[in-house]
Amino acid sequence: MDLTSLTIDAARSAVQERKTTALALAEAHYARIQQEDSQIGAFLTLSKERALEQGDRIDRMAAEGKPLPPLGGVPVGIKDVMSTRGVRTTAGSRILEKYIPPYDCTAVARLEAAGAVILGKMNCDEFAMGSSNENSAYRPVRNPRDLDRVPGGSSGGSAAAVAADMAIVTLGSDTGGSIRQPASFCGVVGLMPTYGRVSRYGLIAFASSLDHIGPLAKTVKDAAIVLRTIAGRDPMDSTSADVPVPDYVAELDRPVRGMKLGVAKEYFGEGLDEEVRQAVEGAIEKLKGLGCEIVPVSLPHTPYAIPTYYLIATAEASSNLARFDGVRYSHRARGVKTLSEMYRRSRDEGFGTEVKRRIMLGTYALSAGYYDAYYLKAQKVRTLLTRDFDAAFQKVDAIVTPTSPTAAFRLGEKSNDPLAMYLADIYTVTADLAGIPGISIPCGQTREKLPIGLQILGKHFDESTILRVAHAYEQGA
Amino acid sequence: MKVTEKDVAYVADLANLELTGEERTGMLRDLNCILDYIDRLNELDTSDVPPMAQVSDRYGVDESKQGSERFAYASREDVPDGLRKSLPHAEALANAPDPDEDFFRVPKVIER
């Protein structure tokens, strides 16, 4: 049995039936990390002690014949923006280089309570700000499918680790596409749940009205299992919704025949790579073949999504990142004489260029005299973008689009042009702004063997439908 | 050009960032480039459109109520002992760059 190519159910059953052990599974993944990750750079910190302790606990349960929880013995990775008690959490930033959280993120605690074995922390763009993982303060992540290419971002380490069999599933976070776009670039499944579906308690905040936690996985079913585990109200996060959590896994096999899928022309316009277009159109044909009805819909404000996103996200980031002041837990500059100098120099030394750029843009957009013209204007356009989806979902059950306009680009290709980098998120940001769920699944590859992603967007709290469509496509493909 | 060198210095000051001379030049160029792109939002007439601050407004909010009452869905019963225990003193100070036994220490705030 190849221990590093299992799904969640296969791994859990193998441990339950004593065909292997949770410790052996963890060791096999650590061996794989040892062998592969010097080239890829997906992990920032390994949490071996915690992993082996949990593996031992699961193995004792299995030895006693007790039924294992849904993720019993499953090796997972956690994006380094989620707090892990006793395990260094950097958010990909120098400013948190030495930060050891005293508590766990709720999503992490729920995964571990369900038996998952946490291997370590995944590399990412600094404070989840980026679309290529080149903004990590530690090292860029490389795409396992082509080491000259980026894995996408900001959950690049989370996507690359799953693609390279260094973890069975990982958690990522999505503020403008940061789960779905890297999933697309690396050829794995990435699910962004509805806003409020998963608690963000313990997630290092980037933009609080846009941040989501979700899984990256090898199969749609694995993503459904993880979502079922981490979803639901958490009294520690007032934005977590008190909405019942369905059994996403049980609903996967319900037929998709007769389902109405929207296709919006705004997602197939200028800038879409021809090979990506063909693959996505091919996928839509396959869904039609599975009995889905394809319905044209219009999302007319789509061209305004990126400017809206970059005002709202940066405004919220400028406020959220004010907490890194060199007093309680972040880097402090040496040799400073006054409090003000300490703030400035500590933040200057601790933050990278893209983070500073976004803090500056957000602070500018919120500053006196510009608030109405920029921040308030963006909030109003956010309403229009959300209404576009409301109108479309009157007619259809889900919407299918490309996840990204291109396959993975080369390292360095866009790193000196912030605007070009922002446009990599053009098909993903609108779902974050509207708070609707979205999933990216592999739907073919380019001539250069680079993965292409199909995005399926759904109604608020209707992850079941997009998971079902994704599962049907995956099984049929 | 929307943003001037003076604006960059002013905003850096508001954001508690120092920024080197080189960083300021880059920031001036990038902010102007991004804001030029953002200007396309002005193509839209939004005079009758309400702003959307957060998605949570879309579930649970009681539109008939005023002020914080609208957000009653997010409230919970008070838990006198707290939802979790406060961190022990030593743990709360463990990540601080310059603590003493009881407090976070910072450089002098007021000059005498």
Residue A104: per-residue pLDDT: 97
pLDDT tens sequence across A233-268:
998 998 999 899 999 999 999 999 999 999 999 999
The residue-averaged pLDDT of A116-124 equals 98
Confidence of residue B109 (pLDDT cuts 50, 70, 90): confident
At B104 the three-state DSSP class reads: strand
Residue B77: per-residue pLDDT: 81
Tokens 């005498």 belong to: B112
Nearest of A168, A154, A148, A74 to residue A116 by alpha carbon: A74
Six token digits for residue A79: 């994006």
Residue among B33, B40, B111 minimizing CB distance to A304? B40
Whether residue B78 lies inside any domain: the answer is no
Query: Which chain A residues touch B15 with a CB distance below 8 Å?
Result: 318, 322, 359-360, 363
The percentage of residues in chain A with a pLDDT greater than 70, rounded to a whole number, is 100
Residue A368: per-residue pLDDT: 87
The residue-averaged pLDDT of A458-469 equals 97
Residue among B3, B51, B97 minimizing CB distance to A380? B51
Q: Catalytic residue at A154? A: yes
Residue B111: per-residue pLDDT: 67
Query: What average pLDDT does the structure give for chain A?
Result: 97
Question: How distant is the Cα of B80 from the closest Cα of chain A, in angstroms?
Answer: 14
Whether residue B20 lies inside any domain: the answer is yes
Residue among A311, A331, A419 minimizing CB distance to B33? A419
The residue-averaged pLDDT of B70-93 equals 84
Q: Is the dihedral of CA A347, A352, A353, A354 positive or negative?
A: negative
Residue among B11, B46, B91 minimizing CB distance to A360? B11
Question: How distant is the Cα of B33 from the closest Cα of chain A, in angstroms?
Answer: 8
Residues A32 and A385: their CA atoms lie apart, in Å, by 44
Query: Total structural domains in chain B?
Result: 1
Residues A120 and A87: their CA atoms lie apart, in Å, by 8
Whether residue B108 lies inside any domain: the answer is no
pLDDT tens sequence across B54-74:
887 667 777 788 888 877 777
pLDDT tens sequence across A81-102:
999 999 999 999 999 999 999 9
Does residue A310 have a pLDDT over 80? yes
Can you give the CATH number for the domain in which B11 is found?
1.10.20
Query: Is any Cβ of chain A less than 8 angstroms from the Cβ of B50?
Result: yes
Render the burial of B66-96: b for 16+ CB within 10 Å, e for the rest: eeeeeeeebeeeeeeeeeeeeeeeeeebebb
Residues A445 and A282: their CA atoms lie apart, in Å, by 12
Residue A105: per-residue pLDDT: 98
Question: How distant is the Cα of B14 from the closest Cα of chain A, in angstroms?
Answer: 7
Q: Residue A210 corresponds to which amino acid?
A: L
Query: Is any Cβ of chain A less than 8 angstroms from the Cβ of B60?
Result: yes
ipTM summary value: 0.92
Do A128 and A80 touch, CB atoms closer than 8 A?
no
Confidence of residue A380 (pLDDT cuts 50, 70, 90): very high
At B99 the three-state DSSP class reads: strand
Six token digits for residue A337: 């004489």
Residue A250: per-residue pLDDT: 97
Q: Catalytic residue at A136? A: no
Cβ pair B92:A460 closer than 8 A: no
Domain range enclosing B10: 5-43
Residue A177: per-residue pLDDT: 98
The residue-averaged pLDDT of A272-279 equals 97
pLDDT tens sequence across A142-174:
999 999 999 999 999 999 999 999 999 999 999
Whether residue B23 lies inside any domain: the answer is yes
Query: Is any Cβ of chain A less than 8 angstroms from the Cβ of B66?
Result: no
Query: Which chain B residues touch A241 with a CB distance below 8 Å?
Result: 56, 59-60
Whether residue B11 lies inside any domain: the answer is yes
Do A156 and A149 touch, CB atoms closer than 8 A?
no
SS (H, E, C) chain A: CCCCCCCHHHHHHHHHCCCCCHHHHHHHHHHHHHHHHHHHCCEEEECHHHHHHHHHHHHHHHHCCCCCCCCCCCEEEEECCECECCECCCCCCHHHCCCCCCCCCHHHHHHHHCCCEEEEEECCCHHHCCCCCCCCCCCCCCECCECCECCCCCCHHHHHHHHCCCCCEEEEEECCCCCHHHHHHHCCEEEECCCCCECCCCECCCCCCCCEEEEEECCHHHHHHHHHHHECCCCCCCCCCCCCCCCCCCCCCCCCCCCEEEEEHHHCCCCCCHHHHHHHHHHHHHHHHCCCEEEEECCCCHHHHHHHHHHHHHHHHHHHHHHCCCCCCCCCCCCCCCHHHHHHHHHHHHCCHHHHHHHHHHHHHHCCCCCHHHHHHHHHHHHHHHHHHHHHHHHCCEEEEECCCCCCCECCCCCCCHHHHHHHHCCCHHHHHHCCCEEEEEEEECCCCCEEEEEEEECCCCHHHHHHHHHHHHHHC
The residue-averaged pLDDT of A205-214 equals 97
The percentage of residues in chain A with a pLDDT greater than 90, rounded to a whole number, is 95
Residue B1: per-residue pLDDT: 67
Residues A21 and A60: their CA atoms lie apart, in Å, by 10
Residues B72 and B28: their CA atoms lie apart, in Å, by 44
Residue B112: per-residue pLDDT: 62
pTM value > 0.95:
yes
Does residue A43 have a pLDDT over 70? yes
pLDDT tens sequence across B28-38:
999 999 999 99
Cβ pair B54:A343 closer than 8 A: no
Residue A6: per-residue pLDDT: 98
Whether residue B52 lies inside any domain: the answer is no
Cβ pair A196:B23 closer than 8 A: no
Residues A6 and A3: their CA atoms lie apart, in Å, by 6
Quick one: closest CA in A to B90, which residue? A102
Rg over CA atoms, chain A:
21
**Residue in A93, A178, A330, A415 annotated catalytic:** A178
Does residue B53 have a pLDDT over 90? no
What domains sit in chain A, N to C, each tagged with a CATH number?
8-230 (3.90.1300.10)
